[in-house]
Amino acid sequence: MRPIPFRSFLMGYVFLAGAIVSEVIATTSLRASDGFSKPGWIVLVVAGYVVAFTLLGLCLGRGVPLGVAYGIWCAVGIALVAALSIPLFGETLTTVQVVGLGLVIAGAVALEAGAAHE
């Protein structure tokens, strides 16, 4: 396996950021569709997930390890969706939920830190 140039590897994280944003848009649109009873949102849901998985594939192709990419995607996506659900949908977070989100993010950071020390 040949080494991946740093610039390409860095681009992998740019693609990962785009994948996260696309997934968050798709997930919040899924909530906004109200169980698909508002069909106008369905296009945004499907397009968001298609773009997210395409960008995730490009991210992995640039050498970002799957466990790291998926961990970061999940942690940041969960935190963003939870945070956005407050102003967008009037949902609330308890202290326990906020601590849980912190633990999820800490887990993603640990995955990234562990990958850096291979």
Residue 89 in any domain: the answer is: yes
The Cα 13–Cα 112 span in angstroms is: 12
Residue 42 in any domain: the answer is: yes
What residue ranges of the chain have pLDDT lower than 70?
Answer: 1-3, 116-118
Q: Could you list the residue range(s) of the whole structural domain that residue 34 is in?
A: 6-116
Residue 36 in any domain: the answer is: yes
**How many structural domains does the chain have?**
1
Please, which residues have CB within 8 angstroms of residue 66's CB and are 6 or more apart in sequence?
60
Give the global pTM. Answer: 0.86
Residue 1 in any domain: the answer is: no
The Cα 48–Cα 20 span in angstroms is: 10
pLDDT at 107: 86
